[in-house]
Chains A and B, each alone.
Chain A
Amino acid sequence: MTKNLPAGRQQEANTHLVVLDKVNKHYGRLHVLQDIDLAVSRGEVVVLIGPSGSGKSTLCRTINRLETIDSGIIMIDGTPMPSEGRQLARLRAEVGMVFQGFNLFAHKTVLENVTIAPVKVLKQDRKAAEQRARELLDRVGIASQADKYPAQLSGGQQQRVAIARALAMDPKVILFDEPTSALDPEMVNEVLDVMTSLARDGMTMLVVTHEMGFARRAADRVVFMADGQIVEQNSPDAFFSHPRSERAKSFLDKILTH
């Protein structure tokens, strides 16, 4: 069964890389995502912010179907996200993901972490994949750590490996699920710097974060979520200086007073 988008949003699906239409999800009786509509265009950097439990991480994870949805449509580059099987794997390969907990493969070296998916999923030649991996590790500033294991690296270094691992698949979009929340404070910036440079290079990014500085600096658009709904969205400047909703005002008051 192929579900179709409403006529008004079909146009959007053709021009936007990621489109969510009326996405709903429940955890038991908790309605964590309520009629979410969102469209991310090519090269756009969208930052998702909101209080804990607002559903922003869940939303991020539904986009490559690490979380299933109850209803609605999610489209990546004009293709609806399939529910399982080969097509799902193929579409996931086009969507990079960077996790809060890094999730590097503990038994593989840094270099192997970066090359495994290109070699096994995209069937790239191993030598070529390794060369590209070294370039990417150089780009995120950890070329010298290529032969170490994840446990031998600091959190900031591990997260940069995870970013290189995502980039190695040449994804159309990268999802960042609170990429700096598990880091010691002094390592946050090294990761944000890499992300900022990616944003500047035109990578399409959806970032769930509590780093308001990053949102101001790198985002094209800020999406504010609360209680499973998108409450408001705006350019970073407009959002941070003139939030329209009471919910956003009280959220910003709480986090920006210090």
Chain B
Amino acid sequence: MDALIVERGTILAAFWMTLRLTVFSALGSLTLGTVLAGMRVSPLPVLRAAARAYVTLARNTPLTLILLFTSLGVGANLGVEFSDRVDTNNFWLAVVGLTAYTSAFVCEALRAGINTVPLGQTEAARAAGLSFVQTLRLIVLPQAFRAVIMPLGSILIALTKNTTIALVAGVAEASVRMREMIEVYGDQVIQIFLGFAAGFVVLCLPTGLFFGWLSRRLEVAR
């Protein structure tokens, strides 16, 4: 247990990084995923096709590849910089990669939610003169979100664990620190492993419980 206690500051900082990656990527994916879902049900064939192509590409590409692409392709090659500091820059490039990947799943979950909203309500909204965007924003999406809170929770848990792949983009999150510690404290591999695993459980378990509670609370009675 020595290693975990001695290095607790580093470990907490690493999980703090994991948490920040998760929160920013979650916000990003929720936004982009919602836009994509809106495009997928839009009356314009061009938007529908674009969103479908994006989802197909992002969902079927391994996250490691996407993160390597954002860090090497977008960052190093195309020269996109978010900050002068290398670690801050890597952090945001990783957020971009995680968002690009996760938003495809958010889009598909939301689209399933949109399908639970009876078509008649859309017709009633359009018949009253609400625009497509107003109908989506005021009538369809609020009900779609409530219908898919549980799957969105699962996506968030997956995202939390997927942040470990940000190591390929050079972000020092929990798994990077774990590997470093294992190298230094070779006699305590099991303890270190269990310690970090417990850290992820601490992050993910409340997420699942919270989303379960939220889902029951916000259920729309029909």
Interface residues of A (CB under 8 A from B): 64, 66, 84, 86, 89-90, 92-97, 99, 101-107, 116-117, 120-121, 149, 151-152, 162, 165-166, 169
- Category for how many chain B residues contact A: 20 to 34
B115 close to A (CB within 8 Å): no
Besides the known contacts A97-B124, A101-B120, 10 further A-B residue pairs in the complex with CB atoms under 8 A apart:
A89-B130, A92-B127, A103-B118, A104-B121, A106-B221, A117-B130, A151-B222, A165-B124, A166-B128, A169-B129
Please name all residues of chain B whose beta carbon is closer than 8 Å to the beta carbon of A121 when the two chains form the complex. Answer: 128-130, 134
Please name all residues of chain B whose beta carbon is closer than 8 Å to the beta carbon of A99 when the two chains form the complex. Answer: 120, 123-124
B125 close to A (CB within 8 Å): yes
Question: Which of A90, A105, A149 is in CB contact (< 8 Å) with B125?
Answer: A105
**Complex CA distance for A66 and B143, rounded to whole angstroms:** 22
Q: Are A93 and B129 in contact (CB under 8 A)?
A: yes
Q: Are B129 and A92 in contact (CB under 8 A)?
A: yes
Please name all residues of chain A whose beta carbon is closer than 8 Å to the beta carbon of B126 when the two chains form the complex. Answer: 66, 89, 92
**Complex CA distance for A165 and B130, rounded to whole angstroms:** 13
Shortest CB-to-CB span from A93 to chain B, Å, is 3
| CB-CB under 8 A for A116 and B121, given A89-B129, A107-B220, A121-B129 | no
Whose C-beta in chain A lies nearest to the C-beta of B120? A103
Q: Are A107 and B124 in contact (CB under 8 A)?
A: no
| CB-CB under 8 A for A165 and B128, given A106-B121, A107-B146 | yes
Please name all residues of chain B whose beta carbon is closer than 8 Å to the beta carbon of A102 when the two chains form the complex. Answer: 120
7 A-B pairs (CB sep. < 8 Å): A92-B128, A99-B120, A103-B123, A103-B124, A107-B142, A107-B220, A165-B128
Please name all residues of chain B whose beta carbon is closer than 8 Å to the beta carbon of A103 when the two chains form the complex. Answer: 118, 120-121, 123-124
Q: Are A104 and B124 in contact (CB under 8 A)?
A: yes
| CB-CB under 8 A for A106 and B120, given A66-B127, A89-B130, A165-B128 | no
